[in-house]
């Protein structure tokens, strides 16, 4: 991604640039918008190019910082010593498909079958191995067109690392990395490129980050968990389940991150292809910035992403980084200097803005909930995704609601249509926020959302 951050300060025009992963593009793009709303003298322009390109530019010191879904390798660290890894969010990679005879989500795929498709061993949708896990689906006798990334990609790194973990044959023949020698398939640039290939090609299949699937209204597969006890749908909750056990075992920002992974995590509810995505920058920021002011603004913006900006993660189907991971990032930023002088890790929070750690003032609902409400009203996301986002915000005390729940959890009960109507009307500003909160109170008090 390429982001140009310009700021005028005391007559000086400051420009900061970062490039890298397409995986977190929807979230970083929202951060760009929200940050400039609070800092109106800053302009941020953004273009995704892939993790490989971002790391190359970081090593070449032509950008202020990079974004990557893959940590630096030992070889890359040798070329860019003094680098910091700052985890910015947690997300998952979906397997999406275009089967006209089965246009909905829910096709079940084991790890072996997924690897065999990308190895070219399973070539048709009605292969007996796929049919065995989907007996109620009439799968067509059509050739599977595999789509993969053509650029150096952190998404590819995470996806192929998973295949390398679960398939001895994949490990032996292909391996994992930001680029690999694909046995079959056609290439496309970026998550958006793979999504477009699959969406426009009947009987296609590819791997993309969840937000791209939802935004393009594409179906996704349920993947078998590491315990082989269930097939798991990608969601904020199942990504969080995969990341839950790892937070206390992570290195510090200035240490080596190669080999750190939450792929194929154990647990009944853990989605198997889940990953951190990182900001990568130099501790001695004079290597990649032109002035102390530019370096300071770089630190300010990164701190916003890992603190105040986290409130927007769930609405775009990413998992906010846990408190322990936020501390790793803040400790890392505290090490950043410019010509030996430490930079100030400022408090970015502006008056009236909410954080995941503090209650919303006067019951104000964060704006990302409105995005979720709109997608849910348009049936781009399901009840579970909508309710999990609401539940998360209530538990974090970002949304303040009155009343006590009296009913039991009715997770399997469809949400009433009038709630969906309210959500759509609120997202279009046709009803007030207070009216929407009353609808949320109904969900809680009737046990549809457990507080």
278-289: per-residue pLDDT in tens? 999 999 999 988
What pLDDT sits at residue 3?
Answer: 37
Question: How do residues 187-210 score in pLDDT, each as one tens digit?
Answer: 998 888 999 999 999 999 999 999
- 2-88+273-342 and 93-243 have identical folds: yes
Q: How do the domains of the chain map onto residue ranges?
A: 2-88+273-342, 93-243, 361-445
Percent of the chain with pLDDT over 90: 46
What is the pTM assigned to this prediction? 0.70
Average confidence score pLDDT of the chain:
81
pLDDT tens, 100-128? 999 999 999 999 999 999 999 999 999 99
Structure confidence at residue 185 as a pLDDT band (50, 70, 90): very high
Give the residue, 165 or 395, on which the prediction is more confident.
Answer: 165
Topology at the third CATH level for domain 93-243: D-Maltodextrin-Binding Protein; domain 2 (3.40.190)
Mean pLDDT over 147-173 rounds to: 94
Looking at residue 416, its pLDDT comes to 66
Looking at the predicted structure, is the pLDDT value of residue 386 above 80? no
Q: Is the pLDDT of residue 344 over 90?
A: no
Query: Has residue 350 got a pLDDT over 90?
Result: no
Range 2-88+273-342 classified under CATH 3.40.190.10: yes
3-state SS of the chain is CEEEEEEEECCEEEEEEEEECCCCHHHHHHHHHHHHHHCCCEEEEEECCCHHHHHHHHHCCCCCEEEECCCCCHHHHHHCCCEEEEEEEEEEEEEEECCCCCCCCCCEECHHHHHHHHHCCCCECCCHHHHHHCCCCCCCCCECEEEEECCCCHHHHHHHHHHHHHCHHHHHHCCCCCCCCCCCCEEECHHHHHHHHHHHCCCEEEEEEHHHHHHCCCCECEEECCCCCCEECCCHHHHHHHHCCCHHHCCCCCCCCCCCCCCCCCCCCCCCCEEEEEEEEECEHHHCCCCHHHHHHHHHHHHHHHCHHHHHCHHHCCECCCHHHHHHHHHHHCCCEECCEECCCCCCCCCCCCCCCCCCHHHCCCHHHHHHHHHHHCCCCCHHHHHHHHHHHHHCCCCCCCCCCCCCCCCCCCCCHHHHHHHHHHHCCCCCHHHHHHHHHHHHHCCCCCC
């Amino acid at each position: 991604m390429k982001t140009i951050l310009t700021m005028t300060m005391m007559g000086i025009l400051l420009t900061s640039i970062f490039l890298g992963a397409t995986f977190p593009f929807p979230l970083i793009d929202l951060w760009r918008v929200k940050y400039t709303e609070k800092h109106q003298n800053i302009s941020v322009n953004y273009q995704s190019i892939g993790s490989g390109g971002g790391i190359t530019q970081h090593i070449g010191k032509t950008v202020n910082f990079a974004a990557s879904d893959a940590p630096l390798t030992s070889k890359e660290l040798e070329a860019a010593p003094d680098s910091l890894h700052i985890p910015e969010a947690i997300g998952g990679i979906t397997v999406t498909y275009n089967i006209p005879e089965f246009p909905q989500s829910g096709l079940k795929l084991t790890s072996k079958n997924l690897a065999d498709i990308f190895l070219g061993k399973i070539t048709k949708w009605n292969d007996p191995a796929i049919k065995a896990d989907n007996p109620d689906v009439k799968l067509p006798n059509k050739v599977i067109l595999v789509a993969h990334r053509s650029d150096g990609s952190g998404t590819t790194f995470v996806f192929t690392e998973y295949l390398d973990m679960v398939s001895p044959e994949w490990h032996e023949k292909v391996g994992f990395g930001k680029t690999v020698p694909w046995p079959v398939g056609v290439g496309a640039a970026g998550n958006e490129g793979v999504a477009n290939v699959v969406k426009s090609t009947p009987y296609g299949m590819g791997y993309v980050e969840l937000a791209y699937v939802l935004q393009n209204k594409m179906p996704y597969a349920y993947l078998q968990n590491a315990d082989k006890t269930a097939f798991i749908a990608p969601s904020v909750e199942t990504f969080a389940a995969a990341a839950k056990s790892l937070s206390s075992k992570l290195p510090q920002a200035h240490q080596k991150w190669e080999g750190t992974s939450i792929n194929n995590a154990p647990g009944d509810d853990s989605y198997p292809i889940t990953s951190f995505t990182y900001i990568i920058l130099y501790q001695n920021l004079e290597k990649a910035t032109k002035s102390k002011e530019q370096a300071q603004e770089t630190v300010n913006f990164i701190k916003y992403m890992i603190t105040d900006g986290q409130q927007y993660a769930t609405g775009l189907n990413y998992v906010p980084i846990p408190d322990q991971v936020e501390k790793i990032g803040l400790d890392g930023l505290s090490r950043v200097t410019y010509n030996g002088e430490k930079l100030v890790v400022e408090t970015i929070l502006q008056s009236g803005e909410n954080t995941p750690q503090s209650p919303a003032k006067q019951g104000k609902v964060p704006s990302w909930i409105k995005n979720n409400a709109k997608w849910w009203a348009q049936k781009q996301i399901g009840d579970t995704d909508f309710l999990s986002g609401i539940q998360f915000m209530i538990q974090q005390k970002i949304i303040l609601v009155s009343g006590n729940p009296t009913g039991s959890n009715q997770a399997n009960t469809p949400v009433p249509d009038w709630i969906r109507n309210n959500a759509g009307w609120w997202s279009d500003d046709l009803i007030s926020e207070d009216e929407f909160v009353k609808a949320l109170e109904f969900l809680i008090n009737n046990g549809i959302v457990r507080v």
